[in-house]
A and B are shown apart, each in its own frame.
Chain A
Amino acid sequence: MKFLQHELDYRRATQGQLTRREALRRMGAGMGSIGLASMFGNAQASAIVSPLGPKQPHFPAKAKRIIQLFMPGGPSQVDTFDYKPMIAKHAGERPDSVNRKSLRNTKLGLMPSPFGFQQYGKCGKWVSDIFPETAQCVDDICFVHSMHTDIPEHAGGILMTNVGALQPNRPSMGSWLVYGLGAETENLPGFVAMSPRAQPRGKLANWGNAFLPGAYAGSYVNIHDMTPDAVIRDLKNTSLSRKDQRKQADLLAQLNQMHLKRLEKDQDLEASIQAMEMAFRMQFSVPEVFDVQKESQATRDLYGDSEFGKGCLIARRLIEEGVRVVQLSHSIDGYDIAWDTGHNDIVGGHARLAKACDQAIAGLLQDLKGRGLLEDTLVLWGGEFGRAPTSEGAKGRDHDHYGYTVWMAGGGVKPGFSYGATDEFGLSAVEDRVHVHDLHATVLHLMGLDHEKLTYRYSGRDYRLTDVHGRVVKEILA
């Protein structure tokens, strides 16, 4: 891990007046337990395992970390990445194949996409005009057009997408990943969830640990009104200088060690001494990671001047520091299911939402690629379901859980590739169908985990993200 700026500044400022502890701590940065072991003169300390320490995957994998760009509300596939020219040819009709029940059971006919589509890249992918920037990256993207899920209702659908169940009582995918892989940072949580303004519907459940140990919960940050000093509760001391805080921390460590000596051995106390040191460091490393002003103007320009852009840039900074999972949810106007504006207004709603994230997505993909990070970082884009090709009224579309599109890029998926298909009008997945459980199995696989082996024993049963389902979609693996 590189040294963060705060470390360098502090080193300069305090040159020549290092305490033994500070010196040890710095030597041991990134290998805290070794530093502790020498400090205690006690071999047992090195055996302390933090629940978030890095763990071996089940098998070697391309993807070491994941950024999930979550699009709650249900983006319409036929207005974004699943080009269906047949809709226009049969506009207003309601052929048998699209005559399926939707949430509101609307009976109207096919509604052509109001947006134009162009072909992009070497792969010649058709992309809607509302995603012109992301379209430039299609040769790095692997589209899955044959997604389907259980119900066409947001709360349940969102939970299915993020926790693999219809009710909020299972660990989130991010928690499972951190449980399985740990993190590669000692200064930050292993799993960070972010969104501007509104948390996606279901809130904490989307990054919650449920019955997994608390260390695997995602830490949520609202990036709309975020100040880097306050992204984690109680991150900053409002009254003491760093020097005074260090004095307190040193006294606490001394008292705890005297207590440890009395007890001879106490694993929990040993872990506690470590945790205290990490907390001390987090106070300074966390604000720095979340501060996008530390990036060059050119880099910031690449991501664009949007809240989602800020989120994407922070996401990159987080994974660079060793965070395992970043979940960034899209939201504008404080709406917790932003893409649901599609009911009344595909033209206005979807165009605006796409505009608010398009450049940021493209910027993220290009930046990751430029830094050589895309090969071992998995980017996953998608919502909880799609929208029907038929009309719900004048300009909108109802929910569609029979078929929708998600895409992935980087870490181990085939670039410039499209998998599966919906019917000729785009309502139902008909070819190479992929259920959300299959997507989860595939993501875990890409990260080096076998979804059938990543289990947690709880109340007499082995739980897994995919419950009793899931098929790894081998066809999309690079």
Chain B
Amino acid sequence: MPSLKPALTIVAVMLMVGVASGDIAAEGGFFESKVRPLLAERCYQCHSEKAAEDGKLKGGLRVDSLAGLMKGGDSGPSIVTGDPEKSRLITAIGYLDEDMAMPPKGKLADDEIAILTEWVRGGAHWPGADKSKLAALTESEEPYDWAKFRREHWSFQPVAKPALPNVQDDSWSRGDLDRFVLAKLEGEALSPNSQASKRVLIRRAYLDVIGLPPGAKEVQEFLHDESSDAFAKIVDSLLNSEHYGERWARHWMDVARYSDESLPNAWRYRDWLVQALNADIPYDAFVTRQIVGDLLEEAPDPVATGFFVVGPTYGNDGGDPEAVAVAEAETLSDRVDTFSRAFLGLTVACARCHDHKFDPVTIKDYYALAGIFRNSGLGEHPVDPKEKVEAYHEAQKAIGAYRNKINEWLKEQGKRLNQKANQVPKHLDEAGKAALAEMRAEEKRMKDSLPPKFAFAHVLAESGSNDMHVALRGDLRKKGALVPRRFLQVLSDEELKAYAKEGSGRQDLAQSVTDPSNPLTARVIVNRVWQWHFGKALVRTPSNFGVLGEKPTHPKLLDWLAADFMKHGWSLKRLHRQILLSSTWQMSSAFDDENFAKDGDNRLLWRMNPRKLEAEAWRDTVLAVTGELDRKVGGKPENEILESTRRTLYATVSRNGDRRVSDEFLSLFDFPAPQFTSAERSVSTVPQQYLFMMNSPFMKARSETLGHGLASQTVAVEERIGDVYERLYSRPAEPGEVELGKRWVGKDTDSPETWSRYAQVLLSAHELFQNQ
């Protein structure tokens, strides 16, 4: 708060207008005749019980009682009785701080300011108010009933492994998880759909696990494999495929709001994800490395911390102090928001300006976490061999040393010639000029032979160990209480322990997140995995397990999965297998009138949800069925993915989806703009998607590849049509479809043109978008 320099002025005014001195101001008469009317007239409109009732209360402050004033508003107590200089009320009405100048419509008259100042100085006498009781008000109150939240809100309760439920028809369940699903269905008198056909199953598994359709050959082999573990073999081979990591890394990249924008090496974090998932590193380690991989003693893995760096780091373009503060605040908010929603399913960033209105998250919790990220800067981690990195640094150093040597020489010559160093070259004799030229040439040679900069990854790096002040109403320039870095209070049992003073606090943070007693971490990830297998999650707000999030449709199943997951070493592949081999996942997605009428939203899981492929899986599928897909794993991103045949995972991802033609394509097909962590894709169906199908160069090229191939086949038209249906949709063509195809081709059975137009229609069909 600024110092109250005009105190003198106020006294002077007071004398001039003949306002009471402190003694008189302490009397009730003065309050009733001068103070209360003034407050009522100029302040109650926004700061009274009535304003609160009308929803017009501003800044959380009420001035219609002494309690209200002493308790204060968002920025703290409004008056300190007897001390106007420490009272925000007086600062505000004096217009001494532009940000809190009150009333906003215009400053009070000088005599009015003097009245309130003297009233505060005289002890803020308020008839009927008991100051001794009120003193307690200014001390911090607990904003939530922590114990009640921990006891009553489902996601804060400890994860317990529930007993398996009893079911009437035990023959349906393949695994334990099925029993939880079936018990629910039986409870509502619904019956599960029958198992999907083998053709649907293998296609579903391929698209689900690796994001690519099976080839016609794989389908045939599976159809002919009569062994009881035929499908389990498919699942295992898919989970062992290096393409598994590609598909599932992309899921996580939605959560990690991955972008390449201004981060030329962001792809190293993407490749890290692909490899980490393929290696099935336990999820608790997966989390730990992303939070604090740079500081792990045994096996440091700094590239993993790219998780935080690939998000938006905001800037400003004018240097205005508010803009600078807002940019930093937004950046910190990104880190806290992504961290808390990704790993914990909590919307902690809502507490950036005030205590969370619904969840037990205080503004102090927010700044306790923000402080951790404020001490974690952006860094470059070399990934090349040490020798290469050292060689680069050495060469840089040598150039610097040589430049110093030249400067020294110039200085010496300057002394000799009595000239400033920068004037020396003009005054040198021929020999001197030649010597200088030789030295400059040597410097240039050194620069030219500088080895290229070593490869590096964008990572987090420790940058301090300071606690952070609460920023009042989210404004970093308005400092509130200092908060030690620590974990969220609601997840911290009774005692609130500050993190280690040294370092940013990320080490302790990773511990708090992966502690098996943390009720959220395992629940959140098994729920996400469920969503990525079924299209809809058990908790349909996967990044919000708070009060405003949805409750689980199958709470016991969720807990059973979470407990089982932790018990078996947090293995994601094991979890996938468990799900893929269940009767639940293998159900058909067929429509059923009766079930649909009872549960159209499929919350009880009476069928597999019919799903539409994401932009990536659809484009990859198109390239796969035309035989053009480049299956190489990893590496630098492609700036225009539509001009490439690599998987869509390797598209350069811009922050706002507005840089490239390929960005337009991606966002047209619901790829999320990575400004925020994204828990679930929206599914839109808009005409522009069909403009892409009909007219884009990408689709034209694919159609021609497929069409020309069909035209060059020598077998009968029926057979060619049958073949292309197997390739595209993993099923034979129906007679009606063959008939339409034959009619289309007519007599032009060898015309590449005719077949290409036909191929374009088949590639544009809705069926290619579906994962049934």
Please indicate the chain B residues that have their CB under 8 angstroms from the CB of A252 in the complex.
761, 764-765
How far, in whole Å, are A235 and B692 apart by their CA atoms in the complex?
A: 8
* Total interface residues in chain A, CB < 8 Å: 66
Whether B684 contacts A258 by the Cβ 8 Å rule is: no
Q: Which single member of A234, A273, A460 contacts B694 (CB below 8 Å)? A: A234
- List CB contacts (< 8 Å) of A200-220 with chain B: 203-205, 208, 210-211, 213-215, 217
Nearest chain B residue, comparing its CB with the CB of A278 = B687
Interchain nearest-CB distance for A169 vs B (Å): 5
Cβ-based interface call for B744 (8 A): yes
Contact A235 B695 (CB under 8 A): yes
Q: Which residues of A contact B596 (CB under 8 A)?
A: 265
A168 CA to B676 CA in the complex, in Å? 11
Report the separation of the CA atoms of residues A272 and B693 in the bound assembly, to the nearest whole angstrom.
12
Q: Is B685 in contact with A275, judged by CB distance below 8 angstroms?
A: yes
> A210 is contacted by which of B327, B675, B691 (Cβ under 8 Å)?
B675
Known: A214-B667, A237-B695, A258-B737. A266 touches B591 (CB 8 A): yes
- CB-CB contacts below 8 Å: A433-470 with B: 433, 459-461
* Cβ–Cβ contact A232 & B744, under 8 A: no
A61 at interface, CB cutoff 8 A: no
Per-residue CB contact flags for chain A residues 276-319 toward chain B (1 = under 8 Å, else 0) read 10111011000000000000000000000000000000000000
Give B605 Cβ to nearest chain A Cβ, in Å: 18
Q: CB distance B656 to A168 under 8 Å?
A: yes
Q: Check: B97 CB closer than 8 A to any chain A CB.
A: no
Say which residue of A153, A205, A275, A461 sits within 8 Å of B686 (CB atoms).
A275
Whether B347 pairs with A265 at a CB distance below 8 angstroms is no
Q: How far is the CB of B156 from chain A (nearest CB, A)?
A: 15
Given contacts A156-B326, A275-B690, A461-B548, contact A233 B316 (CB under 8 A): no
Chain A: CB-nearest residue to B317: A155
Instruction: Give B363 Cβ to nearest chain A Cβ, in Å.
Output: 15
Of the candidates A154, A236, A272, the one having the most CB atoms from chain B within 10 angstroms of its own CB is A272
Which B residues between 640 and 673 are near A, CB-CB below 8 angstroms? 656-658, 661, 664, 667-668, 670, 673
A169 with B676: in contact, given A153-B318, A214-B668 (CB under 8 Å)? Answer: yes
At the interface with chain A, which of B78-86, B127-135, B212-220, B538-546? B538-546
Q: Is the CB of B684 within 8 A of A276?
A: no
Q: A103-B318, A233-B661 are in contact. Are A459 and B676 (CB under 8 A)?
A: yes
A156-189 contacts to B, CB under 8 A, are 156, 166-169
Q: Are A255 and B761 in contact (CB under 8 A)?
A: yes
Rounded to whole angstroms, the CA-CA distance of A213 and B686 in the bound complex is 11
Q: Is the CB of A275 within 8 A of B347?
A: no
Complex alpha-carbon distance, A269 and B323, angstroms:
47
Contact indicator per residue, chain B 578-592, by CB within 8 Å of chain A (1) or not (0): 000000000000110
Q: Does A31 interact with chain B (Cβ within 8 Å)?
A: no
Cβ contacts under 8 Å, B761 to chain A: 248, 251-252, 255
* Cα–Cα distance between A169 and B674 once the two chains are bound (Å): 10
Which B residues between 501 and 515 are near A, CB-CB below 8 angstroms? Answer: none
Task: Determine whether the beta carbon of B765 is less than 8 Å from that of A214.
Answer: no
Q: Are B695 and A167 in contact (CB under 8 A)?
A: no
A268 at the interface (CB under 8 A from B): yes
Contacts of A217 in B (CB 8 A): 667
Contact with B along A369-393 (1 / 0, CB 8 A): 0000000000000000000000000
Q: Are B685 and A271 in contact (CB under 8 A)?
A: yes
With a cutoff of 8 Å between Cβ atoms, the chain B residues found around residue A282 in the complex are 687, 691
Whether A263 pairs with B612 at a CB distance below 8 angstroms is: no
**A248 and B341: CB pair below 8 A?**
no
Q: Return the CB mask of B729-742 against A: 1 if under 8 Å, else 0.
A: 00000101100100
A142 within 8 A of B: no
Taking the complex as formed, is A254 at the interface, i.e. its CB lies under 8 A from any CB of chain B? Answer: yes
> Does residue B634 face the partner (Cβ distance < 8 Å to A)?
no
Q: Contact between B317 and A232 (Cβ–Cβ < 8 Å)?
A: no
Residue of A150, A244, A276 with most partner-chain B CB within 10 A: A276
Verify B685–A166 contact, CB threshold 8 A.
no
The answer to whether A234 and B696 have CB atoms under 8 Å apart is yes
A461 x B350 contact (CB < 8 A): yes
Q: In the bound complex, do residue A153 and residue B317 qualify as a contact, i.e. CB atoms below 8 Å apart?
A: yes
Q: Does B767 contact A (CB under 8 A)?
A: yes
Given the interface contacts A51-B684, A278-B687, does A153 sit within 8 Å of B737 by beta carbon?
no
Instruction: Provide the residues of chain B in CB contact with A363, threshold 8 Å.
Output: none
Distance, CA A248 to CA B612, complexed state (A): 23
Contact, CB under 8 Å: A214 / B686: yes
Considering only CB atoms, which chain B residue lies closest to A244 in the complex?
Answer: B757
Q: Which of B605-664 contact A (CB under 8 A)?
A: 610, 612, 656-658, 661, 664
Tell me if B757 and A215 are in contact (CB < 8 A): no
| Shortest distance between the CB of B242 and any CB in chain A (Å) | 31
Q: Select which of B548, B612, B684 is within 8 A of A213 by beta carbon.
A: B684
Encoded as 1 (CB less than 8 Å from any A CB) or 0, chain B from 754 to 765 comes to 000110111011
B541-560 interface mask toward A, CB cutoff 8 Å, 1 = contact, 0 = none?
10110101100000000000
Q: Once the chains are docked, how many angstroms separate the CA of A156 from the CA of B316?
A: 8
Is the Cβ of B347 less than 8 Å from the Cβ of A460?
Answer: yes
Q: Flag whether A256 is at the interface (Cβ < 8 A).
A: yes
Write the chain A residue with the least CB distance to B685. Answer: A271
Interface assignment of A14: CB less than 8 Å from any CB of chain B: no
Distance A184 CA – B262 CA, assembled complex (angstroms): 40
Is B314 within 8 A of A167, CB to CB?
yes
B197 within 8 A of partner (CB): no
Q: Taking A237-B694, A245-B694, A275-B690 as contacts, is the C-beta distance between A268 and B685 under 8 angstroms?
A: yes
Q: Which residue of B lies closest to A245 (CB)?
A: B694
Find chain A residues with CB under 8 A from B241 CB: none
Chain B residues with Cβ under 8 A from A256's Cβ? 765-767
Which residues of the other chain, A, contact B686 by a CB distance below 8 angstroms?
Answer: 51-52, 214-215, 275
B591 touches A215 (CB 8 A): no
Q: Is the CB of B675 within 8 A of A268?
A: no
Tell me which of B684, B696, B766 has the highest count of chain A C-beta atoms within 10 A of its own C-beta. B766
Set of chain B residues within 8 Å of A459, measured between Cβ atoms: 341, 347, 541, 543-544, 676, 679
**Residue among B683, B695, B764, B765 with the most chain A CB within 10 A?**
B695
Known interface pairs A205-B656, A279-B688, A460-B546; A213-B318 also in contact (CB < 8 Å)? no
Min CB distance A431 to B, Å, is: 9
Contact indicator per residue, chain B 686-706, by CB within 8 Å of chain A (1) or not (0): 111111111110001000000
Q: How far is the CB of B107 from chain A (nearest CB, A)?
A: 11
Is A90 in the interface zone, CB < 8 Å from B? no
* A264 contacts across to B, CB distance below 8 A: 590-591
Q: Contacts A251-B740, A252-B765, A269-B766: A152 and B318 contacting too (C-beta < 8 A)? A: yes
In the complex, what residues of B have CB within 8 A of residue A52's CB? 686
Is B430 among interface residues, defined by CB-CB distance under 8 A? no
Nearest chain-A residue to B677 (Cβ)?
Answer: A459
Which residue on chain B has the smallest CB distance to residue A251? Answer: B761
Choose one: B316, B359, B656, B684; the contact of A214 (CB below 8 Å). Answer: B684
Residue B713 at the A interface, CB < 8 A? Answer: no
A214 to B664, CA, bound (A): 11
Is the beta-carbon distance between B320 and A258 smaller than 8 angstroms? Answer: no
* 26 A-B residue pairs with CB within 8 Å: A103-B318, A151-B320, A151-B322, A155-B316, A156-B326, A210-B675, A213-B682, A215-B684, A249-B694, A251-B744, A255-B762, A256-B766, A259-B767, A266-B591, A268-B610, A268-B766, A279-B688, A279-B689, A283-B695, A433-B104, A433-B105, A459-B541, A460-B350, A460-B359, A460-B541, A460-B543
**Besides the contacts A51-B686, A156-B326, A460-B347, what 12 more A-B pairs have beta carbons closer than 8 Å?**
A103-B318, A169-B676, A203-B656, A204-B657, A233-B696, A244-B757, A248-B757, A251-B758, A251-B761, A259-B767, A275-B687, A459-B544
Closest 8 CB pairs of A and B: A153-B318, A279-B690, A204-B658, A279-B687, A460-B544, A278-B687, A234-B695, A264-B591
Chain B positions near chain A (C-beta within 8 angstroms) = 104-106, 312, 314, 316-320, 322-323, 326-327, 330, 341, 347, 350, 358-359, 541, 543-544, 546, 548-549, 590-591, 596, 610, 612, 656-658, 661, 664, 667-668, 670, 673, 675-676, 679, 682-696, 700, 734, 736-737, 740, 744, 757-758, 760-762, 764-767, 769
